[in-house]
C-alpha cells in the first residue's frame, strides 16, 4: 500500500484539503463537487449533527432555527477559545467546534484512499497574532492539539504562502524569483522564494526561501471597515444620546462588523442596554434598526450583505444592497470609491508588509519576476493596483487562488512524510 498523507488549509473564510499518495497529489472534493468549503458550521436545535460550509450557510439564510458560526480560525491564540459558547443550551469549547469542522474535512479523504490518513501538514499564517509571539505559539499548539484529537498521529506545519508557492512550482520552467501574496479572510502573508520545476522534489528548501512576513489583516477586515464606513451609520453608529450628548458605545458596532464576535452580542444584557439608550437617543430611527438586528439575531445576515457588496464592487463602480430584514424597503447604495476609502489604511499596511519582505530578503522590487496571488481578497481592484505598482516588471498569476494553499500543503506532506 502506498503511503498517504494530506495537507489541510483551514482558512478564516474558506478551507481545502488535498492528499498525496505516492507521486500523485490531488485536491479532495471538500463539499459536493467543490474543492473548497466555506469555513462555516451550523448547529440545528436538538441535533448533534451539524452542517458545514455552503449547506450551513444555506440553512442559516433560510431562517432555519439553530446556531451559525464562521471565521473560527481567528479565535485561535485568543482568550475566547477558553471561554466557549452555548450550543443548544449546552456549553461547548471552541476547540471542539473547530475539531468537528476539520474532522468533516478529514473524513472526505477516506473514500479516496480506502484507509485512514494519519499524517498531515497544516497550513498556518506567518503570524496568527501580530506582535505577540506567545499568543502566536499558543495558536499553533491549539491547532496541533485539535489535529491530534481528530486522529492525526503526525502533525507538521507550513506557512501558507510557501505552500501556495509549492502549488505553482510545477509549471515554472527555469528559475524565477517570486513573491507569494496570500491574502485570506484573516491574514495577509508574503514569501519571497526561488521557484523551479527542478526543485519540486528537494526535501530542504530553506536556501530557496529568502524571507517571510505577515500581518493580521484580511478580507474580514475589509468587510468590517466597509460596514463601519457605509452601513453602521445607518444603525446609529457615532450617534449621540442624553443631555450630555454622549456617544452610543462604538464597541457594539465594531463587534457587529466582525464575523467571529457577532454571536457574543445576542445577550439580554446587550439588548437591554440598547433599549435604554433608545429612550434618550437623538437619532431614534437609526438606533432602532440596531435594536431590531440584535432582537432578531440578524447580525450575520447584515454582515453577509456587506460581504456581498464588497464582492459586487470588485466588478462594479456602485452596488445597491437591500436591508429589508431590519426595515421595510431599506436600500443602501455604496460606491467603489467609498469601499476603497474605507480600506485605504489596510491596503497601505499590506503594501508595507510586502515591502518589508523585500527588505528582509535583500532584493529589489525590480528583481521580482513573478507575483503569485492567492486568497479571495487579491481580487479587490485596489489590491491588484497596489501589487502592479509595487512590481512593475513581474508577471501576475492567480491560478487556483482559493485552493492553491491546500494543494501546496499536500506537496509538502509528500516531502515530509514520504
- Whether residue 78 contacts residue 132, with contact meaning beta carbons closer than 8 Å, is answered with no
Length of the chain: 418
Section 47-53 average pLDDT: 88
| Domain closes at, from 342, 376, 409 | 342
Q: Are residues 52 and 168 in the same domain?
A: yes
| Domain closes at, from 342, 357, 379 | 342
Q: Give the CA angle between residues 87, 90, 94 to the nearest 5°.
A: 55
Structural element, H or E, at residue 183:
strand 176-183
Q: Give the CA angle between residues 151, 155, 160 to the nearest 5°.
A: 125
372: left (phi over 0), alpha (psi -120 to 50) or beta: beta
Q: Residue 177's closest CA among 352, 357, 383?
A: 357
* pLDDT band per the 50, 70, 90 thresholds, residue 114: confident
Q: How high is the pLDDT of residue 1?
A: 47
- Whether residue 39 contacts residue 56, with contact meaning beta carbons closer than 8 Å, is answered with no
Domain count of the fold of the chain: 2
Cα distance between residue 382 and residue 388, in whole Å: 10
Q: Is the pLDDT at 140 greater than 90, yes or no?
A: yes
Tell me the percentage of the chain whose pLDDT exceeds 90.
79
Cell of 258: 466582525
- Whether residue 78 contacts residue 135, with contact meaning beta carbons closer than 8 Å, is answered with yes
CATH number at residue 89: 3.30.420.40
Q: Are residues 163 and 229 in the same domain?
A: no
pTM as predicted: 0.88
Section 151-158 average pLDDT: 96
241 within domain boundaries: yes
**Residues in CB range of 252: below 8 A, 6 or more apart:** 265, 270, 274, 290
The domain of 327 spans: 220-342
Measured from the Cβ of residue 60, the count of other Cβ atoms closer than 10 Å reads: 21
* pLDDT band per the 50, 70, 90 thresholds, residue 299: very high
Q: Are residues 144 and 43 in the same domain?
A: yes
Q: Residue 288's closest CA among 276, 298, 278, 299?
A: 278
φ, ψ dihedrals at 284, nearest 5°: -60, -35
Q: Are residues 236 and 157 in the same domain?
A: no
Amino acid at each position: 500500500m502506498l503511503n498517504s498523507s494530506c495537507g489541510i488549509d483551514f482558512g478564516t473564510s474558506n478551507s481545502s484539503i488535498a492528499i498525496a499518495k505516492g507521486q500523485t497529489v490531488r485536491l479532495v472534493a471538500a463539499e459536493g463537487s467543490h474543492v473548497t468549503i466555506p469555513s462555516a458550521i451550523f448547529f440545528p436545535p436538538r441535533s448533534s449533527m451539524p452542517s458545514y460550509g455552503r449547506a450551513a450557510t444555506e440553512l442559516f439564510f433560510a431562517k432555519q432555527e439553530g446556531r451559525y458560526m464562521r471565521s473560527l480560525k481567528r479565535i485561535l491564540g485568543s482568550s475566547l477559545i477558553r471561554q466557549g459558547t452555548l450550543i443548544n443550551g449546552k456549553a461547548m469549547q471552541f476547540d471542539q467546534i473547530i475539531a468537528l469542522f476539520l474532522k468533516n474535512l478529514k473524513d472526505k479523504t477516506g473514500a479516496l484512499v480506502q484507509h485512514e490518513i494519519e499524517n498531515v501538514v497544516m497550513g498556518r499564517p506567518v503570524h496568527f497574532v501580530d506582535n505577540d509571539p506567545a499568543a502566536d505559539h499558543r495558536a499553533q499548539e491549539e491547532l496541533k492539539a485539535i489535529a491530534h484529537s481528530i486522529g492525526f498521529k503526525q502533525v507538521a506545519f507550513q506557512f501558507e504562502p510557501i505552500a501556495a508557492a509549492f502549488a505553482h512550482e510545477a509549471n515554472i520552467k527555469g528559475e524565477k524569483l517570486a513573491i507569494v501574496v496570500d491574502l485570506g479572510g484573516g491574514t495577509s502573508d508574503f514569501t519571497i522564494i526561488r521557484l523551479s520545476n527542478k526543485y519540486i522534489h528537494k526535501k530542504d528548501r530553506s536556501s530557496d526561501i529568502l524571507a517571510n512576513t505577515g500581518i493580521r489583516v484580511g478580507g474580514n477586515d475589509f468587510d468590517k471597515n466597509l460596514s463601519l464606513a457605509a452601513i453602521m451609520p445607518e444603525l446609529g453608529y457615532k450617534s449621540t444620546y442624553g443631555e450630555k450628548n454622549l456617544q452610543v458605545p462604538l464597541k457594539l458596532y465594531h463587534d457587529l462588523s466582525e464575523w467571529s464576535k457577532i454571536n457574543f452580542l445576542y445577550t439580554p444584557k446587550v439588548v437591554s442596554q440598547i433599549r435604554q439608550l433608545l429612550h434618550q437617543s437623538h437619532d431614534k430611527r437609526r438606533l432602532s434598526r440596531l435594536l431590531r438586528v440584535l432582537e432578531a439575531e440578524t447580525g450575520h445576515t447584515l454582515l453577509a450583505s456587506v460581504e456581498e457588496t464588497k464582492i459586487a464592487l470588485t466588478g462594479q463602480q456602485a452596488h445597491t444592497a437591500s436591508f429589508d430584514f431590519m426595515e421595510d424597503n431599506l436600500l443602501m447604495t455604496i460606491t467603489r470609491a467609498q469601499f476603497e476609502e474605507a480600506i485605504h489604511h489596510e491596503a497601505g499596511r499590506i503594501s508595507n508588509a510586502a515591502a518589508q519582505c523585500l527588505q528582509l530578503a535583500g532584493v529589489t522590487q525590480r528583481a521580482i519576476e513573478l507575483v503569485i496571488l492567492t486568497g479571495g481578497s487579491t481580487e479587490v481592484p485596489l489590491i491588484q493596483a497596489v501589487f502592479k505598482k509595487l512590481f512593475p516588471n513581474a508577471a501576475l498569476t492567480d491560478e487556483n487562488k482559493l485552493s492553491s494553499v491546500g494543494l501546496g500543503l499536500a506537496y509538502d506532506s509528500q516531502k515530509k512524510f514520504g
